[in-house]
Amino acid sequence: MESNRSEMFRGFSAVIVLSLLEEHDDYVYQICKTIKERSNGCFSLSHPSLLLLMDNLEQRGFIFHHNEKNVNGVKRKRYSLTLEGKQWLAQERPHALEA
Range of the domain at 14: 2-98
**Number of domains comprising the chain:** 1
For 40, left (φ over 0), alpha (ψ -120 to 50), or beta? left
CATH code at position 70: 1.10.10.10
Give the pLDDT of residue 10. Answer: 58
C-beta separation of 27 from 79 below 8 A:
yes
CA neighbours within 13 Å on the CB side: how many for 2?
3
Measured distance CA(36)–CA(34) in Å, rounded: 5
Give the pLDDT of residue 9. Answer: 56
Mean pLDDT by 10 residues, the chain (99 residues): 50 90 96 94 88 95 94 92 96 73
Measured distance CA(19)–CA(50) in Å, rounded: 14
Give the pLDDT of residue 78. Answer: 96
